[in-house]
Amino acid sequence: MNATAIAHPNIALVKYWGKRDAALNLPATGSYSLTLAPIRTRTTVSWGQAEDRLVLNGAEAVGRPLTRIQRFLDLLRADHPSLGHAHVESDNDFPTAAGLASSSSGFAALALAATSAAGLSLSPAALSVLARQGSGSAARSLSGGFVEMQPGASPDGRDAFAVQRYAETHWDLRVLFALTTEGEKSIPSTVGMDQTVATSPYFQAWCDGVPAALRDVDAAVGAQDFERLASLAEASALQMHASAIAAVPGVLYWNGVTVELIHAVRELRAQGLPVFFTIDAGPHVKVFVEGHAAAAASAALREIPGVRGVFEARPGGDARIITDEPR
Ligand code: PMV
């Protein structure tokens, strides 16, 4: 009745921003990401307990984080009431809820550990559908490498799951996380998305552009065409944020250093360094770089005033159950 899973976070090259069904957490569009290592979430689930408990990074969690986990566990309890309550122990070896994609690895690891501890063996698609209901980006973190999330067409969401397009060995890209603040992000992604869907005059335009972006990004990744990918991924990030900024009130995740980094990354690229930026629901900037240039790019980013730290990740593999690593 207990199991431990590891999942790696992912960063989107074509962003997911907006839901078509809030209750089922169905995305309005597809998305496309790269799963990253060595950073990871490790989660242990033990069913058959007296009450639900969440220990997150060593501390007992209450309020929104616990409620979110309980709602997720309810999805399994609906079909398997004998499971009862669960203890969930989860830790990240990178900052949690800071716009650094911890919900992607968090709900992927939880979906895998919770089903495995319950003795259920789900297909990769069914596991991705389950993880999606915890967090949209989590559907993509069950697979390693380059992953495409299919928005699906079915009202019940059964065809809204992610599939691997290229393995983590396909292309030696690195991602440099340039941290611009300490602490947790201000607007949860679900709140920012819902506000954008409800009030942004640019939301439909954002959605209309995603199918072509998905096709083009997949082709650029397949051909390892860095310049093309840089242009497409920066456009997707800026268009996502433009639609959010245009909501009423505007959903603005950036700080001044975020903007400095956008300019700096473009300047470095103009000087010949293979780098591009992307930004998620937080003020940090993730800089993609070809492996051979990672050290030079990292050194350049550390020089930028206001950058509080830079850490590097590389393409990562599938989420998995672990049996041999002590907690
Ligand atoms: O998985 P969520 O609900 O936290 O949404 C993730 C949203 C972005 O990180 C901004 C974009 C993406 O596709 O990962």
One digit per residue, the tens of pLDDT, for the chain of length 327 reads: 999 999 999 999 999 999 999 999 999 999 999 999 999 999 999 999 999 999 999 999 999 999 999 999 999 999 999 999 999 999 999 876 566 777 899 999 999 999 999 999 999 999 999 999 999 999 999 999 999 999 999 999 999 999 999 999 999 999 999 999 987 667 999 999 999 999 999 999 999 999 999 999 999 999 999 999 999 999 999 999 999 999 999 999 999 999 999 999 999 999 999 999 999 999 999 999 999 999 999 999 999 999 999 999 999 999 999 986 555
Ligand 1 neighbours, Cβ below 6 Å, are 12, 15-17, 31, 103-104, 135-137, 189-190, 280-281
**Single-letter amino acid code for the residue at 241:** H
Furthest CA-CA distance within the chain: 61
CA 248/CA 201 separation, integer angstroms = 9
Task: Specify the length of the chain in residues.
Answer: 327
Q: Which atom of ligand 1 is nearest to the CA of 188?
A: 4
Judge contact between 229 and 220, C-beta under 8 A.
yes
Going by the DSSP 8-state scheme, the letter that residue 142 receives in this structure is T
Residue 115: predicted pLDDT? 98
User: From atom 10 of ligand 1, which residue's Cα is the shortest distance away?
Assistant: 280
> Tokens in use for 264?
């700096």
Chain position carrying tokens 């389950």: 130
DSSP state for residue 168 in the 8-state scheme: T
Spell 244-261 as b/e; 16+ CB within 10 A means b.
bbbbeeebebbeebbebb
Separation of alpha carbons 46 and 88, rounded Å: 7
For residue 183, the model assigns a pLDDT of 75
What are the CA-CA distances from residue 113 to residues 97, 100, 148, 154, 205 (Å)?
Answer: 20, 22, 23, 27, 38
Q: What is the pLDDT of residue 186?
A: 75
Specify the pLDDT at position 325: 58
Ligand 1 atom with least separation from CA of 190: 3
CA–CA gap between residue 307 and residue 261 (Å, rounded) = 9
Instruction: Determine the atom of ligand 1 nearest the C-alpha atom of 15.
Output: 13
Give me the pLDDT at residue 284, please: 94
- 10 Å CB burial of residue 50 (0-12, 13-18, 19+) is exposed
**What pLDDT, on the 0 to 100 scale, is given for residue 162?**
98
Is it true that the peptide bond before 249 is cis, omega within 30 degrees of 0?
Answer: yes
3-state secondary structure of 76: helix
pLDDT given for residue 326 in this prediction: 53
Q: Which two tokens stand for residue 49?
A: 């307990």
* Mutational test site, ligand 1, from 137, 187, 236, max ligand atoms within 8 Å of CB: 137
The DSSP code for 321 is E
Considering only CA atoms, which residue is closest to atom 6 of ligand 1? 137
